[in-house]
Structure 1
């Protein structure tokens, strides 16, 4: 069972994520989060004494959600060969459909803290290691990973983002690639 402090912390992080997704990083202020979450600023400061720690907390929170979903997709795939590659495709698809929430926290952390950026990179490498040992051609897994990275950055940075239908077509092609390699 979650404690009240954990519930409040999650409320703060969900609110911060929503503010950034609906606006941008500049809209993320401690006052805005407290007001939108319906808590006192003192209650917010108890959990996150400053904006930098709030953004780091947001990055950690989103990364934990990513890892939980990645694991869930992989463990629920009954076909052993390529299951972690498909898990990465599915978690990316889910994330892209929900405004690429993963990148909100990851970009925030990278900008603020090189050590956090290294932590994120190291954790992502553990995901990539699962792809290397996935039973499909490692080059195919790498191409799939890079295509997914491209979808993220295109959408997040608004660099010629694809239409939703084309994104779905790309995802379906990547899934086929992960299956045909087995």
Structure 2
């Protein structure tokens, strides 16, 4: 009897391990080059074990996107809980969550690769669109002003600029974020 038969099954741990390896490989090699074989090999999980959790590469990428989105949501929710002013709270939390990605290189790299897939994959674009619409609807009473919308669009611009490395904001970054925060208070 092999060791595998004596090993305790931990499907949640294995699933997360596979997602972590997929995220790392995506960051190192780019999402287009990540294969199920590569994820299985790098994680030490058999291909059959990987296929149990993720029957296709698309299922793996979708799960990776969901995992990132859950962490992003949790970050936004934490920031909202810490903000005593309800007016514009979601827009401020979104702005800070996006602009602070640069301070977490691994998280930023994961989002960069998934954003590339997001642009190319209709199912991921649809999932992002649904997330944006749900959050927009949820905070319509506090974050529906034109200024709040401008802040969220500017945050998306910061995200893209950080991802592409196209704008070196330096000391201006703090002033830009502060000015955008001011807009959420109107």
Identify the TM-score tier after normalising by the shorter chain: 0.7 to 0.9
Is the aligned partner of 1:128 residue 2:136?
Answer: yes
Say whether residues 1:108 and 2:117 are aligned partners.
Answer: yes
Determine if contact 2:99/2:159 at 8 Å carries over to the other structure.
no
| Aligned-partner Cα distance in 1 for 2:170–2:11 | 38
Unaligned runs of 5+ in 1: none
CA radius of gyration, larger in: 2
Q: Which residue of 2 aligns with 1:33?
A: 39
Quick check: 1:144–1:174 contact (8 Å CA) kept in 2? yes
Q: Is the 8 A contact 1:13 1:58 kept in 2?
A: yes
Residue aligning to 2:15: 9
Q: 1:126 to 1:143 in 2, by over 3 A?
A: same
Aligned residue in 2 for 1:65: 71
Change (3 A) 1:170 1:32: farther
Instruction: Note if contact 1:12-1:37 (Cα within 8 Å) is conserved in structure 2.
Output: yes
Q: Distance in 2 between matches of 1:73 and 1:159?
A: 26
Report the Cα distance in structure 2 between the residues aligned to 1:69 and 1:16, rounded to whole angstroms: 22
Tell me how many residue pairs correspond in the alignment. Answer: 175
For structure 2, list consecutive stretches of 5 or more residues without a partner in the other structure.
1-8
C-alpha distance in structure 1 between counterparts of 2:170 and 2:17, whole Å: 30
Selected match of 1:85 from 77, 81, 91: 91
Normalised by the length of structure 2, the TM-score is 0.78
Q: Secondary structure at the match of 1:16?
A: helix
Change over 3 Å in CA distance of 1:17–1:148 after alignment to 2: same
> TM-score scaled to structure 1, two decimals?
0.80
Show the counterpart of 2:160: 153
Partner Cα distance (1:12, 1:35) in 2:
10
Rounded to whole Å, the distance in 2 between the matches of 1:127 and 1:100 is: 24
